[in-house]
Structure 1
């Protein structure tokens, strides 16, 4: 009798653990994929191309109604993961490629002018709705959630993009994850650089393309950035923001690939 009771309690315990994991880790499959193929922000596209789990995860996204997710954090995490997962899918569909720009009809500049880039292509279907990567980034993540830190989490498969995280975003820890991504991005000297002697911030072009998301002028942008920097530079920016200048680094569109 005692064995039966213990077995029953064990089933209840492990069942409750499983339910807790499912409740919190809504994107566990994507975390497992990223953990296997992403190292230091770079992707092993060769092996990812052969792994069918990504298709299974994309199917999970396609069959989800994000409006039914419990919190705004859950919803935003869903859309960030969707952007990153579909970007990976589009790359491996055409791999080997040297850059995501190889996927645009007409290349980057003509494709942007004509609206024929991979970011414009409405080949994503979520809960029956056709979407593009641009829809997800601009119409949903930026517009509906008013969250500028998505710029440090959504990854366009290029070296100058923020590093791709080796875990999925989850609503219950999204704020912590986004802060970590922001700090990682601004502390990476290949993406942003700060010359204290010259009081010049060499920032990613992301801060130029989407400057209005971070502030109304250079000073407010610098003050925003300072919260993610080491103390010495951050304090100098806060005390002397009017003396700091901003320049922007060239953008490296090479594929964010492990070589």
Structure 2
């Protein structure tokens, strides 16, 4: 027996099927870091020249439950799951975890602080506090950066220093989107160009090379063969155009005879209100 179905019912059923299919596809394509990306897009803004960003911590406070939901999602990833991922997916996960937990750390005392350093003590820096449930352990920010991200040069990636953010003006920009494995190389390169193009933090005046203190603290990381760069000078030469170096300055760097000075680091909070 044929059942008569009005045209409007057929259209309703068809539309419902399409909607359900779209929702199923959306669920399949949604990544672990989408919620973090949404928060960053809403609460992180570029400075005038786009060399850096400022953070609306008041906005993050208003959406702290959403941030905590994201952090809880990171916590659910097991060590076995993590180990099965490729390097790009692992590294994107760790960079996002570091940055998101840094924001959460700031929110624990915001607005009653001027610097992330205010969250430490004479005996222990804020980066050594073990408060992060991740990969089956309770970690510190130092554990994530120095053991998981930098440890044993596993990822052979010095550009991570322009991706992790220490909630300070002197630090490379907190990116306005989450890191994703599918575009991680592009994101890291953009972060590097962004930081090195800031003449207030990296420049060469005559024969004097003036660099951010990041290059002093982590000098060895830039000498481990990234794109065949085995010295800090050769790493800098990879970005000679970005730094606006003259042919004479490039020759000086190639000779590795330049005098390098490291600029003071600004530890003031990267708050949009400043």
Q: Structure 2 length as normaliser, TM-score?
A: 0.81
SS in 1 for 2:25: helix
**1:73: which partner in 2?**
88
Q: What residue ranges of structure 1 are gaps of 5+ in the alignment?
A: none
SS in 2 for 1:190: coil
**1:27: which partner in 2?**
33
Q: Structure 1 10/67 Cα, relative in aligned 2: closer, same or farther at 3 Å?
A: same
Aligned-residue offset at 1:244: 2.8
Larger Rg: 2
Output aligned runs, 1:180-191, within 5 Å.
180-191=190-201
Aligned-residue offset at 1:11: 3.8
User: How many residue pairs are counted as aligned between the two chains?
Assistant: 245
SS in 1 for 2:200: coil
**Corresponding residue to 2:61 among 22, 42, 49:** 49
Q: What residue ranges of structure 2 are gaps of 5+ in the alignment?
A: 47-52
**1:84: which partner in 2?**
99
Q: Partners in 2 of 1:5 and 1:12 — Cα distance?
A: 11
SS in 2 for 1:49: helix
**Corresponding residue to 1:220 among 221, 225, 231:** 231
Q: Partners in 1 of 2:230 and 2:248 — Cα distance?
A: 12
Considering only aligned residues, what root-mean-square deviation do their CA atoms show, in Å?
2.3
Q: In 1, are the aligned partners of 2:106 and 2:116 still within 8 Å (CA)?
A: yes
Cα deviation, 1:40-66, whole Å, max 9, x if unaligned, reads: 111011221221211111111111125
Q: Structure 1 66/224 Cα, relative in aligned 2: closer, same or farther at 3 Å?
A: farther
Output aligned runs, 1:1-259, within 5 Å.
3=11, 4=13, 8=17, 11-13=20-22, 15-20=24-29, 22=30, 25-40=31-46, 41-51=53-63, 52-65=65-78, 67-69=80-82, 70-96=85-111, 97-106=113-122, 111=123, 116-143=124-151, 144-195=154-205, 198-215=206-223, 220-230=231-241, 232-233=244-245, 236-241=248-253, 242=255, 243-259=257-273
Q: Partners in 2 of 1:76 and 1:55 — Cα distance?
A: 21
Aligned-residue offset at 1:230: 2.0
